[in-house]
């Protein structure tokens, strides 16, 4: 039941989604012809192939129809909307490039009817899919039964995960949950496990997760062969809860099982390439269309109010703990106070134009040149001065984790209200925790979202910007 019904459900979703995308394009073409806007006929003829290709790219990138061991409904919904909006962006880019009448297009009936239809479809279809997937178990005569043996912290977390995602499996729980027995030797453990596998086979368990301390597992081959005899899939999960309270991330290097302290999406070369392309595109647009006129204007204002260079450069800590020159518009008087001292509220070192630049974050604009040179990223942990890196590294154990990725012009911590002066170590700990959260959960969508939030926070005004 696990694979057959899951595969059928996913295929049905994929087919209906593709049909809906095509119907949406057909509606667009019909209304476009009725409006008689004089659009290029060759342009319109290619709309359906473009729709299909852009949708296939979107669902492939977000792995919308990926068939995993477990089916996570929340991820399915999230990736559905991500794929939909990505396809819309690609579709509109095609129109922007090949069609002259772009402004009319956005307000045309053809576009409005198509968008309304697709939004309604995705909303209703996901509600319907939720109802269907909730009833699938009741339609199946012979269910794929999964259980856990071993009662500990790891098995409880595993049970919670299986229970929350058991749409295509029948999860019966932890078999020895109520057993008070504790094992003091490998022999006692092996005997109890042997008896449990035998009993599980009588209860028609198809897949059994065995969660135990690595010390107790002496002969995996014996138990795997025993499971094969009972036509039962056995899966061993080592319980590390007794030696660490943290969650590990594991992977494989050929036949070697590798345990890592955390998952880092940017360890993947493809993800780094995607992020770099985004950085290059974004920074190039800002430099060409904004800094080309903003730089000389601010340079004049800065020079008129105080002597000194237009740009202020300071050595900051970058990726892999390597220092680099970080550029900013100068917002302070020169040769006044200690440059390594953090800016404070009502700081006397700040010039009048500097107050405006810091409040609006315009002083950070030259860092787009740092991005173009590959020293920084658009989004990432903010770079600190070398002295602060050394100081905080001595007080916060995982402080240097934030330097596993390139520093950013903006970041998750900044849009989460953790910007500005850090008077206490606990303030920096909160910022570091947020930065590590970004490192562990990076995605292109996250970067785009943080960019939008940065603009909103800047327009709204940040009380910590001074």
Q: Is 87 in the same domain as 228?
A: no
Beta strand 256-260 pairing with 249-253: antiparallel
Q: Is residue 227 part of a domain?
A: yes
pLDDT above 90 (res 154): no
Higher pLDDT, 379 or 398: 379
Supply the pLDDT for residue 1.
46
Separation CA 457–CA 466 (nearest Å): 14
Percent of all residues in the chain with a pLDDT value above 90, rounded to a whole number? 42
- Both 128 and 150 in one domain: the answer is no
421-435 pLDDT, tens digit per residue, is 666 778 888 999 999
119/129 Cα distance (integer angstroms): 15
SS3 180: coil
Q: Please say which residue of 102, 122, 139 terminates a domain.
A: 139
Residue 307: which domain range?
269-460
Are 209 and 289 in a shared domain? no
- Confidence band, pLDDT 50/70/90 cuts, at residue 466: very low
Query: Is 51 in the same domain as 111?
Result: yes
Tell how far CA 398 is from the center of its chain: 21
Helix or strand (DSSP H, E) at 2: helix 2-35
Give percent of the chain above pLDDT 70: 86
Q: Around 30, how many Cα atoms within 13 Å sit in the side-chain half-sphere? A: 8
How far from 227 is each of 81, 159, 181, CA to CA, in Å?
A: 41, 21, 23
Count of domains forming the chain: 3
455's tokens = 């603009």
pLDDT at 104 over 60: no
Mean pLDDT estimate for the chain: 85
- pLDDT given for residue 66 in this prediction: 81
Please compute the mean of the pLDDT values over residues 158-181 and round it to a whole number.
Answer: 83
Judge whether 49 lies within some domain: yes
Tens-place pLDDT, residues 344-390: 566 667 888 888 898 888 999 999 999 999 999 999 999 999 988 99
Q: Residues 425, 312: one domain?
A: yes
Question: 276: pLDDT confidence band, cut at 50, 70 and 90?
Answer: very high
**Average pLDDT of 436-455?**
93
Helix (H, G, I), strand (E, B) or coil at 354: helix
> CA 247, 252, 257, 259 torsion: positive or negative?
negative
Has residue 298 got a pLDDT over 50? yes
Tell me the sheet residues that pair with 234.
208
In a domain, 328, yes or no: yes
The lowest-confidence range among 62-66, 199-203, 207-211 is: 62-66
The whole-number pLDDT of residue 435 equals 95
> What pTM does this model have?
0.70
Judgement on whether residues 162 and 130 belong to the same structural domain of the protein: no
| Unique residue bearing structure tokens 């010039």 | 351
Does residue 250 sit within a domain?
no
- Report the C-alpha gap between 432 and 418 in whole angstroms: 10
Shared domain check, 330 and 223: no
Residue 305 pLDDT > 50: yes
Structure confidence by residue, pLDDT tens digits, 23-59: 999 988 888 777 665 555 556 678 888 899 999 999 9
Say if residue 354 is in the same domain as residue 455. yes
């Amino acid at each position: 039941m696990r694979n057959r019904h899951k595969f059928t459900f996913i295929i049905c979703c994929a087919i209906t989604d593709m049909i809906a995308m095509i119907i949406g394009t057909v509606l667009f073409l019909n209304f476009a012809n009725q409006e008689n806007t004089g659009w290029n006929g060759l342009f319109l003829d290619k709309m359906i192939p473009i729709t299909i290709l852009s949708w296939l790219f979107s669902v492939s990138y977000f792995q919308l129809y990926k068939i995993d061991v477990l089916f996570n409904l929340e991820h399915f919904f999230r990736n559905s909307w991500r794929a939909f909006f990505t396809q819309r962006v690609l579709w509109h880019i095609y129109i922007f490039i090949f069609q002259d009448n772009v402004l009319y297009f956005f307000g045309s009936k053809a576009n409005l009817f198509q968008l309304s239809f697709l939004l309604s479809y995705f909303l209703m279809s996901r509600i319907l899919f939720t109802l269907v997937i909730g009833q699938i178990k009741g339609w199946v005569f012979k269910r794929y039964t999964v259980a856990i043996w071993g009662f500990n912290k790891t098995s409880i977390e595993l049970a919670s995960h299986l229970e929350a995602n058991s749409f295509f499996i029948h999860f019966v729980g932890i078999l020895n949950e109520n057993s008070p027995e504790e094992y003091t030797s490998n022999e006692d453990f092996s005997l109890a496990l042997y008896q449990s596998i035998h009993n599980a086979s009588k209860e028609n368990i198809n897949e059994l997760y065995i969660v135990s301390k690595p010390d107790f597992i002496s002969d995996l081959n014996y138990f795997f062969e025993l499971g094969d005899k009972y036509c039962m899939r056995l899966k061993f999960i080592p319980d590390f809860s007794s030696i660490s309270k943290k969650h590990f991330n594991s992977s494989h290097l050929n036949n070697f099982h590798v345990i890592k302290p955390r998952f880092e999406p940017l360890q993947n070369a493809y993800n780094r390439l995607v992020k770099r392309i985004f950085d290059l595109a974004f920074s190039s647009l800002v430099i060409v269309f904004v800094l080309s006129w903003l730089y000389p204007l601010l340079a004049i204002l800065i020079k008129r109010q105080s002597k000194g260079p237009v740009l202020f450069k300071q050595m900051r800590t970058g990726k892999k703990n390597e220092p680099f020159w970080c550029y900013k518009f100068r917002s302070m008087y020169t040769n006044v106070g200690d440059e390594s001292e953090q800016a404070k509220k009502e700081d006397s070192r700040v010039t009048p134009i500097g107050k405006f630049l810091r409040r609006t974050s315009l002083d950070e604009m030259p860092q787009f040149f740092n991005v173009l040179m590959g020293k920084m990223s658009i989004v990432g942990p903010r770079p600190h001065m070398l002295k602060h890196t050394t100081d905080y590294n001595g007080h916060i154990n995982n402080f240097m984790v934030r330097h596993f990725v390139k520093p950013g012009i903006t970041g998750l911590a900044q849009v989460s209200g953790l910007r500005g002066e850090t008077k206490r170590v606990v303030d920096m700990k909160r910022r570091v925790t947020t930065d590590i959260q970004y490192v562990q959960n990076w995605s292109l969508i996250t970067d785009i979202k943080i960019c939008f939030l940065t603009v909103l926070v800047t327009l709204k005004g940040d009380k910590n910007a001074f």
